Structure 1
Amino acid sequence: MDFEDPDACDEGLQREWVRHTEGSMSRTLPERLRRLLDEVEEAVHALSAPLRPSGEPDEQRPLLAVYVATRLQAGAEERQKEAVRAARAADYSWDEIAQALMTSKQSAHERFRKQVSDEQKKQESAAHS
């Protein structure tokens, strides 16, 4: 195990951890949201094929899939930051947040602590004004 890189570990152990956390998180996910996530994933995957569902060629489809995936990623990253800030404000631990992020506590903390800290400082400053 590489202790310098908290995410570097045995791939089998990593897969097992992801399977565990996905299972626990997905059980609490509302069914409507689960269906929407599945539909978006299927739609983006379908765009990656160079053929339309009718079988006609469409060279733009893979490029469109890249564009759609990029837009989704940008939006998801912003929602993720907001969700982590909200979770910390609701007193969730870095362990709990890391589990939801499917990563290590150290990685979650390193990635989001500055944003969370900056947000807390803003709120404290506003409260004292």
Structure 2
Amino acid sequence: MSIADQVQALRLRKLKILDDHRKSRQQLERTLDVELAKIDREITQLGDASAKLPCLVRITPGPELTIYHSADYPCGRVHNRRNFKRMREVDAMDASPYAYLERCSACDWRRAAKIHGERLIKAS
């Protein structure tokens, strides 16, 4: 085998080792991303299942109350937070003497649940 062939063989071996290493790192990063995404979903579920999820209930005069809003990620209908009382979701459901209040469909409850779930984890 000539010197040029030996150099070429060594270069190819080196490139293969580097490529194999890069592929194994990419696989580890994909696995890490999948595991972290799974934990994020579980944190969101934890926050959503918590009866202490913070909500906003309107306290100013106006139309009959039918909904409450997310305190952590409210929709555009919450212009001035001073017009709302912050309370736990379990209390917000029964905040109106006339009707059982429901979640606002425009608020981003998934993000709010994730924020609340992370807050629960930090508090423990």
Name the TM-score, length of structure 2 as normaliser: 0.30
Relative contact order (C-alpha < 8 Å, sep 6+): which is higher? 2
- Give 1 or 2: higher strand fraction: 2
User: Which structure has the highest helix share of the two?
Assistant: 1
Task: Answer with 1 or 2: which has the greater Rg.
Answer: 2
TM-score (normalised: structure 1): 0.29
